[in-house]
Amino acid sequence: MKIIVGLGNPEEKYAKTFHNMGWIAAGDVAAKLDVKFKKKECEAYVAAARVNGADVIVARPVTYMNNSGRAVKQLLAKYKASAADLIVIYDDYDIPKGNIRIRPSGSAGTHNGMRSVIAEIGTSAFARIRIGIRDAEVNIPIMNYVLSEVKREDYNLFIAACGKAADAALEIASGEPVEKVMTAYNG
């Protein structure tokens, strides 16, 4: 069992914002698995699939970013999964735009959604895939930046990064060690 969670905000007005990179990547995971987000449970849209004979749940919390942990905690409980079964994909302001970084554990950094996840489940020992959003040329407060729309000229860069994040999540879900996936994708 693996649970892949893409952090973001559920309203259409957030669809193309930096803070929705996790949601976009979760959509890419579902598309690659040829499954749809058919139901809403545990305060998330959920799609189910099997990868290498194991159940995989792909989820997009509807709790809004700062309360993402509520949905993650509920999903882990419902599916009787542990933090070791969790893969969280999210945007990261501390990484240059378009890059991805994978880690087997770590702190929340500047990310309120990850703070919520760690606080709710009581551990930071779970895989995370971070999609870099920082643009060195933009100098506005983080809160304003993450909720702003991706510039048209950068959109393809971010779509490609979300696709790579989805591929990495699927490799981890298929049983590849996180460290091996890190070596392949961290650049």
Catalytic residue list: 19
Residue 43 tokens, joined: 């305060």
| Helix, coil or strand: residue 183 | helix
| Torsion over CA: 149, 132, 168, 11 (sign) | negative
Residue 82 tokens, joined: 């542990």
Alpha helices in the chain (DSSP H): 21-32, 68-78, 112-121, 142-146, 155-173, 178-185
**Closest by alpha carbon to 166, among 9, 14, 7, 24?**
24
Is there a contact between 20 and 36 (Cβ–Cβ < 8 Å)?
A: no
